[in-house]
Chains A and B, each alone.
Chain A
Amino acid sequence: DAKTTQPNSMESNEEEPVHLPCNHSTISGTDYIHWYRQLPSQGPEYVIHGLTSNVNNRMASLAIAEDRKSSTLILHRATLRDAAVYYCILTNSGGSNYKLTFGKGTLLTVNP
């Protein structure tokens, strides 16, 4: 599986934007970039995913570098509820032999 690198931790203030980076220099052409997050004492939660173009949904935006070797998850206005571990995961669609390989992720702290 292609590997991703994320900072161990980041800090933000409430109602400010947060940019969570992810490096994936060995990404292949068919790998999707997925982001999940895990709130304290909960299961992982899907946030967003993309292939080449930037993506927006109600939770966040995903900015993908032109060479696809890095991406950034953007939370436009952080709330206390966004405090979680954020995982950047590369996935390759096709077939049923499919799994999510979680790294250490980035622990996001949101200050009131």
Chain B
Amino acid sequence: DTAVSQTPKYLVTQMGNDKSIKCEQNLGHDTMYWYKQDSKKFLKIMFSYNNKELIINETVPNRFSPKSPDKAHLNLHINSLELGDSAVYFCAAGRTGKGTQYFGPGTRLLVL
């Protein structure tokens, strides 16, 4: 079983559309994260959720909204997509206060 899974793996869409990326973890960890890796390969945290509560929100445009229906899921909804949103988005899961995080395979978003 995959520990952290994301869907879809690839997402190609037009500017202005709204899209969602789903993330699920079966590790039983209480904290989930979203990271963004841009074209220059820099990986940067966007959000973290702990027990369904938003903990970290790193100066991300409010077009991005994380939603955690339960501890095993953290979805990322993006409104009014822009060209600059094209990137690879990684979900991760970990335990509170621990530096070991387990990452999903990534969702490659291309905005045309």
B48 to chain A: which residues have CB within 8 Å?
Answer: 96-99
A54 at interface by CB-CB < 8 Å: no
B61 within 8 A of A: no
Binary CB contact string for chain B from 8 to 36 against chain A (1 if under 8 A, 0 otherwise): 00000000000000000000000101010
Q: B55 on the interface (CB 8 Å rule)?
A: yes
**Contact between A102 and B42 (Cβ–Cβ < 8 Å)?**
yes
Please tell me which stretch of A20-28, A38-46, A71-79 contacts chain B, meaning at least 4 of its Cβ atoms lie within 8 angstroms of it. A38-46
A28-62 Cβ-contact flags toward B at 8 Å (1 or 0): 00001010001001111110010000000000000
Contact A102 B99 (CB under 8 A): no
Q: Which 9 A-B pairs have the closest CB atoms?
A: A91-B99, A43-B103, A102-B43, A96-B50, A99-B45, A93-B97, A34-B99, A96-B96, A44-B103
Contacts known (A95-B96, A96-B96); A45 close to B45, Cβ less than 8 A: no
Contacts A41-B106, A93-B99, A96-B50 known; list 10 others, CB within 8 Å: A34-B100, A44-B90, A45-B103, A93-B98, A96-B55, A97-B56, A98-B48, A99-B45, A100-B99, A100-B101
B44 at the interface (CB under 8 A from A): yes
Min CB distance A84 to B, Å, is: 12
Residue A9 lies at the interface, judged by CB distance under 8 Å to chain B:
no
- Per-residue CB contact flags for chain B residues 91-111 toward chain A (1 = under 8 Å, else 0) read 010101111111111100000
A98 engages B44 (CB within 8 Å): no
Assess whether B44 is in contact with A97, with CB atoms less than 8 Å apart.
no
Docked complex Cα distance between A100 and B42 (Å): 12
Q: How far is the CA of A46 from the CA of B99 in the complex (A)?
A: 9
Residue numbers in B under 8 Å from A100 (CB-CB): 35, 45, 92, 99, 101
| A96 to B99 Cα, complex, angstroms | 11
Q: Can you list 25 contacts pairing A with B, beta carbon distance less than 8 Å?
A: A34-B100, A41-B106, A42-B106, A43-B90, A44-B92, A44-B103, A46-B100, A46-B102, A49-B99, A49-B100, A89-B99, A93-B98, A94-B97, A96-B50, A96-B55, A96-B97, A97-B48, A98-B56, A98-B94, A98-B97, A99-B33, A99-B45, A100-B99, A101-B45, A102-B42
